[in-house]
Amino acid sequence: MSADLRGYTVLVTGGSSGLGFEMSKALLQSGATVIIAARAGERLERARAALAAAGDVHAVAMDVRDETSVAAAKEWFERNFRRLDMLVNDAGIGFNAPGMEGLAPEHDFWDIPAGAVRAVLETNLLGFFLVSGSFVPLMLRNGGGSLVYVSTSDATMTRPGQLPYGPSKAGAEAMAAILAQELKPRGVRVNVICPGGFTDTNMAPPGLTERMRAAGLPVLPPTVLNEVILYLASNPAADLGGEKLVGKDFAQWRSEHE
Ligand SMILES: NC(=O)c1ccc[n+]([C@@H]2O[C@H](COP(=O)([O-])OP(=O)(O)OC[C@H]3O[C@@H](n4cnc5c(N)ncnc54)[C@H](OP(=O)(O)O)[C@@H]3O)[C@@H](O)[C@H]2O)c1
């Protein structure tokens, strides 16, 4: 879809890679100012440089698990930007969490190191809380905005083998549902989005994408959420809140809702 997002400012956590990187590119190409956030390091700077040709992009180091880092990113944001229209909470980890790499595919749940569980919950759930808590008040200053959480398919939340990732996303969706109700009267729309299946990004353990393709299993492209995020940033979605939009099925959803 085409959207005119000139004058619209978006912060994308996890913008250094995968779905967040591609959504940032689509938003930039539609004229938005985009701030990508991820942990400090070369990957963030490489992503900013790669996106520079697409539009007005900026990068800020922010570890979503760490309130001091989030507070510093917020201060930087306030020094450099007048308003925030959309916050995309995309930063996330799963089977790439530290300590998960040694696990056999058929492991028992008690084999999962506590540190890996902690890292996944802190990134996917606590991170959503910390970043939203810091940046939503900035949206309220300009009368509201759009808060987005990048989740997973419903089936992934409770499928065997999906500890601790599934519950982290289930918890975050419960939080999104609460925020959708609490923030609606104050002009902030809260929606959840997800790809709708396994997506080719850096989150996949090495070799898995190739094995899935070889087995004829579906692999979604990392651009699968681009149309969804452009839609949420544009006028047709001005009243949409408390929804879960699935990238793979979005064209169908749109044809049924417009
Ligand atoms: N790939 C899939 O099949 C799939 C399916 C459903 C949902 N999702 C969700 O999509 C979102 C994006 O994942 P992806 O698939 O695009 O994976 P990805 O390519 O690994 O990207 C993850 C992003 O999160 C950032 N990140 C991780 N930990 C962070 C932290 N503590 N603070 C700040 N940023 C952090 C990473 O940046 P740095 O490492 O540079 O900090 C990176 O930019 C996740 O929430 C994931 O759960 C993915």
User: Would you say residue 3 lies in a domain?
Assistant: no
Residue 235 has pLDDT above 80, yes or no: yes
Domain with 41, as residue range(s), is: 9-257
Proportion of the chain above pLDDT 90, given as a percent: 93
| Block residue for tokens 């507070």 | 71
Confidence band for 226, pLDDT divided at 50, 70 and 90: very high
- Report residue 44 as tokens: 């963030």
User: Would you say residue 93 lies in a domain?
Assistant: yes
| C-alpha of residue 15 to centroid of ligand 1, in Å | 8
Query: What pLDDT digit, counting tens, does each position of 81-114 carry?
Result: 999 999 999 999 999 999 998 898 889 999 999 9
Q: Where are the alpha helices (DSSP H) in the chain?
A: 18-29, 42-51, 67-80, 114-121, 127-141, 154-158, 165-183, 208-214, 226-233, 250-257
The model's pTM: 0.98
The residue contributing the CA closest to ligand 1 atom 42 is 14
At 157 the pLDDT is 98
At 106 the pLDDT is 87
Here the CATH number for the domain that contains residue 124 is 3.40.50.720
At 86 the pLDDT is 98
| C-alpha of residue 213 to centroid of ligand 1, in Å | 21
The residue contributing the CA closest to ligand 1 atom 36 is 14
Query: What pLDDT digit, counting tens, does each position of 25-57 carry?
Result: 999 999 999 999 999 999 999 999 999 999 999
**For range 126-137, the mean pLDDT:** 98
User: Would you say residue 173 lies in a domain?
Assistant: yes
User: Would you say residue 1 lies in a domain?
Assistant: no
The residue contributing the CA closest to ligand 1 atom 34 is 38
| C-alpha of residue 258 to centroid of ligand 1, in Å | 31
Give 220's strand partners. 199
**For range 252-257, the mean pLDDT:** 96
Q: Is 184 in the pocket of ligand 1 (CB under 6 A)?
A: no
Cα–Cα distance, 87 to 70 (Å, whole number): 13
Report which DSSP code applies to 16. T
* Count of domains observed in the chain: 1
Residue 136 has pLDDT above 90, yes or no: yes
